[in-house]
C-alpha cells in the first residue's frame, strides 16, 4: 500500500514532542508493538529530521514516520529528504500542501474554524487536524461534519483514553495523541512496556468506538 493508503487506515497517530529524540527508534518500536504504526516527530526539536532518518533506516516501511509542526515548504522539503512519510502542520499552510502534493506525500493540516477546515481540504489536505481539540470537544467535530461530511478530521490536543471514543463516534477519521501517550519520563526511563500498553489501550478504544 502507498503511504496515503496506510495513513488513511490508521486509527491513532502518536505525537512525539520531546527535548530528546535520541531514542526515536525504540519509541517507534514500542508504539508499533501496541498497534500504532504512525508516529510524528515535531520540528519544535531541530533533531526531528535526524530522528525520522534513523527510524526509516532501522524500520523501513514497517512504520510511517511523520514530520510534525511543519510551518513552511522549506521545512517540508527537508523532512521529505530525511524520509518523512507524511507531514503535519499546526496551521493552514497552502504552500506546504502544494509541495507535499508535488511529491505525493500525505498531509495532516492544522485548522480550527469551519472556514480554515474547508480551506485546507480544498487545497488538497489528506486529513485536517482539528487543533486544539481540547478547546471544543467531540461535539464540535460532529457539528462541523454536518455541512462538511466529506472532510477527514483528526482531533489533536487534549485527546486521552477517556474521550478518544467520543471523538471517533463524533466522526473523527483517527485521533492524534501526544503526551498522554509518549511522555518524557517513560522515554527517559526507557519504559517501553508502558508505551506499548498505552498504545494498545488507545487502539482498542478507537476500535471499540467504531
Q: Which entry of 8, 26, 29, 40 is annotated as an active-site residue?
A: 40
Instruction: Return the C-alpha cell found at 203.
Output: 487502539
Task: Please give the helix or strand (H or E) that residue 129 lies within, else none.
Answer: strand 127-130
Mention every residue, 6+ apart, whose C-beta is less than 8 A from residue 103.
80
Cβ neighbour number for residue 203 with a 10 Å cutoff: 19
Q: Alpha carbon of 118 to those of 49, 115, 124, 128: distances in Å? A: 30, 5, 10, 9
129 is catalytic: yes
Helical H segments across 60-191, by residue range: 73-82, 94-102, 114-123, 138-145, 164-169, 184-188
26 is catalytic: no
Mention every residue, 6+ apart, whose C-beta is less than 8 A from residue 156.
15, 110, 129, 130, 131, 132, 133, 175, 176, 178
Q: Mind giving me the DSSP string for 96-125?
A: HHHHHHHTT--EEEEE-SHHHHHHHHHHT-
Q: Which entry of 129, 142, 185, 207 is annotated as an active-site residue?
A: 129
Catalytic residues: 40, 129
Amino acid at each position: 500500500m502507498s503511504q496515503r493508503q496506510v495513513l488513511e487506515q490508521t486509527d491513532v497517530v502518536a505525537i512525539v514532542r520531546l527535548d530528546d529524540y535520541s531514542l526515536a527508534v525504540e519509541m517507534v518500536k514500542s508504539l508499533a508493538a501496541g498497534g500504532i504504526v504512525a508516529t510524528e516527530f515535531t520540528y519544535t526539536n531541530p533533531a526531528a529530521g535526524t530522528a525520522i532518518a534513523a527510524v526509516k533506516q532501522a524500520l523501513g516501511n514497517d512504520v510511517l514516520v511523520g514530520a510534525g509542526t511543519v510551518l513552511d515548504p522549506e521545512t517540508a522539503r527537508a523532512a521529505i529528504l530525511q524520509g518523512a512519510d507524511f507531514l503535519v502542520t499546526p496551521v493552514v499552510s497552502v504552500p506546504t500542501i502544494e509541495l507535499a502534493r508535488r511529491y505525493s506525500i500525505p498531509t495532516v493540516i492544522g485548522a480550527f474554524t469551519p472556514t480554515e477546515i474547508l480551506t485546507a481540504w480544498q487545497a488538497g489536505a489528506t486529513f485536517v487536524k482539528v487543533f486544539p481539540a481540547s478547546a471544543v470537544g467531540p461535539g464540535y467535530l460532529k457539528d462541523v461534519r454536518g455541512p462538511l461530511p466529506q472532510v477527514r478530521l483528526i482531533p489533536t490536543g487534549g485527546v486521552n483514553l477517556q474521550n478518544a471514543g467520543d471523538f471517533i463516534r463524533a466522526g473523527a477519521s483517527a485521533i492524534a495523541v501526544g503526551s498522554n501517550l509518549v511522555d518524557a519520563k517513560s522515554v527517559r526511563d526507557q519504559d517501553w512496556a508502558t508505551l506499548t500498553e498505552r498504545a494498545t489501550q488507545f487502539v482498542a478504544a478507537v476500535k471499540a468506538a467504531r
